[in-house]
Amino acid sequence: MQIFGLLGNPVGHSLSPAMHHAAYSHLGMDAKYITIESEVSDLKEVISGAPKNGISGLNVTIPFKQDVLSYVQTDKIAKRIGAVNTIDFSGENPIGYNTDVAGARRSFEHHDISISGKNSVVLGAGGAGRALAFMLSDEGSHVSIVNRTEDKAHSLSKSVPNSTGYGISSLPNLLIDADILVNTTSVGMGTDISPIPKAFLHPDLVVMDAVYRPLATRLLREAKESGATTIDGVWMLLYQGVESFEIWTGRKAPVSIMNKAVRSQL
Ligand code: NAP
């Protein structure tokens, strides 16, 4: 049996086990997806011991996406982002990847939304903000990074080509000419609060929310009411999982099966 899993703390409410088990069952794979709740002091042992415990691949979630960098070799994208969310143990040494970037890109592709030449606003400069800012820039967009702690926006914009950093007060002006808006803050998670007043939203915007609990965040509801196109946070979650599955197994992931499984949990 192949064993994959999720390493984080906490991991109890994760949607990943249902998503990956649906894929294994659909493809008739003898595999299971476990969760490992760890302390930071145990990470080295968990990662170095994974192959002898029969583990072929691990996803990594909050708060360890940066900590695991010390224990894996990274591919080009994970190195640039400075965070790992997927570890593959099939080679001699564990390799760390960041599939949040491809997950975000494939979310836009899925909705037939082109990014090249567009003006994008990324709200937030944490882990998800980094992944989105690099992806949008790589795909040819100018990226305005807006963050509550303005220094973090400036510092991220120094490493993301074709980007500029701003504080929150610049948001209304930036949105006037924006084509794409992505919320990568945790505002709206588990609450009915939007990080952006409805008055700033307009029909020419594509609005993506990285928050997926609830699925229909207030931001997405108000964006829809304003005539904007919306992409919910499950798409990015789904496609980062699809990418991880494909790295670990070398097989094409059953995307629609995994999508159905993850949405049935919400
Ligand atoms: P993080 O690294 O902790 O970053 C949090 C960001 O939110 C920072 O920019 C922070 O600003 C901002 N923020 C927090 N509270 C705020 C508030 N009250 N007002 C304004 N800004 C606020 O977290 P993360 O890993 O990037 O995750 C952010 C969200 O994205 C979470 O809800 C997470 O579940 C979601 N996410 C989704 C996916 C997906 O696949 N859909 C993937 C990754 C993350 P400061 O710098 O000023 O503190």
108 lines ligand 1 (CB under 6 A): no
Q: Let me know if the fold of 2-98+236-263 is the same as that of 102-232.
A: yes
Atom of ligand 1 nearest to the CA of 148: 47
Instruction: Please give the full DSSP string across the chain, using - where no structure is assigned.
Output: -EEEEEEESS-TT-SHHHHHHHHHHHHT--EEEEEEE--GGGHHHHHHHTGGGTEEEEEE-TT-TTGGGGGSEE-HHHHHHT--SEEE-SSSS-EEE-HHHHHHHHHHHHTT---TT-EEEEE--SHHHHHHHHHHHHTT-EEEEEESSHHHHHHHHHHSTTEEEEEGGGHHHHHHT-SEEEE-SSTTTTSS--SS-GGG--TT-EEEES--SSSS-HHHHHHHHTT-EEE-HHHHHHHHHHHHHHHHHSS---HHHHHHHHHHT-
Confidence (pLDDT) at 176? 96
Q: What percent of the chain has pLDDT over 70?
A: 100
Confidence (pLDDT) at 194? 98
Q: pLDDT grade, residue 163 (50/70/90)?
A: very high
Average model confidence (pLDDT) across the chain:
97
Q: Which of 65, 118, 158, 252 is catalytic?
A: 65
Confidence (pLDDT) at 165? 98
Query: 2-98+236-263, superfamily in CATH?
Result: Leucine Dehydrogenase, chain A, domain 1 (3.40.50.10860)
- Domain map (residue ranges) of the chain: 2-98+236-263, 102-232
Confidence (pLDDT) at 214? 95
Whole-model pTM? 0.96
Confidence (pLDDT) at 203? 98
Query: 102-232, superfamily in CATH?
Result: NAD(P)-binding Rossmann-like Domain (3.40.50.720)
Q: pLDDT grade, residue 110 (50/70/90)?
A: very high
Q: Ligand 1 centre from 135 Cα, in Å? A: 17
Confidence (pLDDT) at 58? 98
Confidence (pLDDT) at 191? 96
Atom of ligand 1 nearest to the CA of 65: 25
Q: Does the annotation count 152 as an active-site position? A: no
